[in-house]
A and B are shown apart, each in its own frame.
Chain A
Amino acid sequence: MMNDHGEWYSIQTFDLTRKYGARTAVNSINLSIKQGELFSLLGPNGAGKTTTIKMLSCLLKPTAGTAVVMGHDIQKTPAAVKQILNVSPQETAIAGRLTAWENLLMMGGVYGLSKEMAKKRAKELLALFDLTARAGEQVRKFSGGMQRRLSIAMALISDPQVLFLDEPTLGLDPQSRRAMWQQIEKLKGEKTILLTTHYLEEVDALADRVAIIKEGEVVALGTPDELKENLQGMQTMVVRAQNLTMEIAAGLKKIYPHTKMKESGLEIRAKELIFDDIVDYLRENNVKINWLSMKEPSLDDVFLSLTGKEGATDEVS
C-alpha cells in the first residue's frame, strides 16, 4: 500500500489485538512500516513485542484486527505471507548436529528453492556473516554469537522481502552484540526489517524509526531523534566519587526519584536539576567528587519516562 508521499508500506497493522483469556498482550496496535525501513519495536519483557511478531508471521491468530504484509492479509492469505517473509526467532533456532552449510541448504529446501539456488544463496550468506571458514562444522560447537549469525543467515536464505529479527542480540556479550549490529547494518535498505529489542543502544544504532510498546500498546512512535527531542529539558547528571554510599544516594532519591547507582557512577535524572544543591548535599556527606558530567537526553530517558522502567544497557544497574 502507498502513502500520501508515494512511499510503499511493507507492513500495516489495523487495530491488531491479541488476548490470552482476560489478559491483553497486544492492544489495538496500528503501525505502518515503509519498504526498506528498519523499524524497531522497543519495550520491556512482556510488552507484547514477540506476540506482535508471531501474529505478523501467521504463527498466532489475532483476536481482533488484522495486518497486511506486502499487500497480503495475514488472516486471509497466510500462505502468501509466509512465502515472502522470514523470521529469526528469539532463541537460536538451528539444527545442532548439522553443519552451517547443511542448515542453510535445509532451510532453502523448506522454502522451495532449487538445489542450485540454495547453494548459491548459502555461499553468499556464509560470506556475508563471516561463517565461510566454519561452514563444514556442526553448529552445536559454535559460539553463541556465531549461532545467532547463522540463525539470521537461515532467515535470509529465502531472500525474503520482509525480515523479522526477534531480539537478535539477546544474551550476547557487548562485543558480539556490536559485531551483530554491523551485520544487520549491511541489510538496511535492502529488506524491510522489523527488529524487536529491549536494548536501547541497539535501537539508537540501527533503527530508522521506533515504536515503544508498553503493556501491549504503542506509547511513542518516531525516529530515535524525534523521541529524544520530545524530552527536551530532561537532564542527567553522572557523578563519580569516593565515599558514595547507598544511604547517600537514597537521600538524593527523595528529591530526585530517578536516582540510581550504576557501575559508571551515581546517575540523577530530572526535568530540573539544581547543580549547586546536589554538589552541596554530597559535600555535606563527606563525598569527594572525582568526576561530574551533565548528559543530553538519551533514548534511555525516553524509555524511562514512557514506560517507567529502565532500559537494558551493557551496564550493570
Chain B
Amino acid sequence: MRFLSLAGRNIKEIYRDPAAVIMGVIMPAVLLLLFASMGQGAAPVDIFTVDGLTPAVTVFSFGFLTLFSAMLLARDRESAFLTRLLIAPLKATDFILAYMLPFLPVAALQIVVCLTAGSLMGMKAGFSWAPFLVVMFILAVACIGIGMILGSLFSVNMAPPAGSLVVVIIGLFGGVWMPLKQVGGIFGAVGYALPFAHAVDAARAIVKGAGMGDITVELYWLLGYTVLFFLLGVFFFRWKTKQ
C-alpha cells in the first residue's frame, strides 16, 4: 500500500494548483453554459441542445486529465523527484496506481460539475447512470493513459502543448462542437477512427435513454483504445525510467 503515500502527494499537487482546477473543471462547465444558452430554442441540430451538449462537454473535459497527468509526470521526471522515487522500494504497479488513481476523483468532479451545469440549463435527469459512469470511467483511464505516454516522452516544456493538442483533438474529432456524422468526409472518417467520437456518441445516446446493450459498438472502440493507451503509457513510462 506504499503507492497510497505517493498517490496522496499527487492529489495534493493537482488540487493545490488553482489554475489547473479552473481550466479542467470550471472552464468546460462555462463553455457548456455558453453554448447551451446560445442554442436554447434555436439549435439547428440536436447536438447543440443541452441534452446533446452536456454529455459531449463532459467527454471534452476529460482531455484535461491528459494535460494534467502529462504535466505532472513530465515535471517529476525532469526534477529528479521521480529519480528519488525510483530509488525507493516501490514496484512498477505502485507507480502506475499512484499516477493514475489521483485523476479519477478529478474525473468524478468534472462529471458532477458538467451535469450540474447541464441540469441548471434544463437537461433531462431521467437517464440511466450506470452505463454513463461506465463509459466515463473507461474514457478517464484512456485519457490518463495518453497523459502517461506524453509525460514519459515529452519534456516539461513540451508536455503542456502536447496535452493541449489532445484537448483540441477531442473537441474537433470527438464531434463535441460539430455534428461529425453530417460533416463526414475525411474529417468524419478520422473522427470515427479515434475513440472520442464513439465516447461522445455513447454518452449522448445514454442521456437520450439508451442502455448498455445499445452502445456495445461504441464501448468496444473505447475499450480497445483504452487498453492500447494504457499499455503504451506503462511501456513508455518503464522505458524512460530505465534510461
Contacts and interface: CB of A to CB of B under 8 A. Distances in A.
Contacts of B4: 109
Contact of A154 (B12, B83, B84): B84
Interface string A30-48: 0000000000000000000
A234 B17 CA distance: 58
Interface residues of B, number: 21
B137 interface: no
Given A82-B88, A87-B87, A111-B88, A106 B8 contact: yes
A176 interface: no
Contacts of A95: 9, 12-13, 81
B2 interface: yes
B81 A94 contact: yes
Contacts of B85: 110
A96 B71 CA distance: 14
A101 to B, nearest CB: 12
Contact of A106 (B9, B16, B17, B90): B9
A138 interface: yes
Given A90-B80, A106-B5, A106-B8, A97 B13 contact: yes
Interface residues of A, number: 31
A11 to B, nearest CB: 15
Contacts of A102: 9, 12
B9 A91 contact: no
Interface in A61-107: 79, 82-83, 85-87, 89-98, 102, 105-107
B89 interface: yes
Interface in A224-271: none
A89 B8 contact: no
B86 interface: yes
Contacts of A94: 81
Contacts, number: 72
B87 A91 contact: no
Interface centre among B5, B13, B16, B86 (most CB of A within 10 A): B5
Given A83-B89, A110-B90, A111-B89, A97 B16 contact: yes
B80 A91 contact: yes
Interface string A163-183: 000000000000000000000
Contacts of B216: none
B40 interface: no
Interface in B77-106: 79-81, 83-90
B80 A98 contact: no
Interface string A194-227: 0000000000000000000000000000000000
A306 interface: no
A138 to B, nearest CB: 7
A59 interface: yes
B6 interface: yes
A97 B17 contact: yes
Nearest to B13: A97
Contacts of A138: 16
Nearest to B243: A60
Contacts of B2: 109-112
28 contacts: A57-B87, A58-B87, A59-B86, A82-B87, A82-B89, A85-B87, A86-B87, A87-B87, A89-B80, A89-B83, A89-B84, A91-B79, A91-B80, A92-B80, A93-B81, A94-B81, A95-B9, A95-B12, A97-B17, A98-B9, A102-B12, A107-B5, A108-B5, A109-B4, A109-B6, A111-B2, A112-B2, A138-B16
Ranked nearest first, the 9 interchain pairs of A and B with the lowest CB-CB distance are: A109-B5, A91-B80, A93-B84, A93-B80, A97-B16, A82-B89, A89-B80, A93-B81, A106-B9
Given A90-B80, A110-B90, 5 more contacts: A59-B86, A87-B84, A97-B12, A109-B4, A154-B84
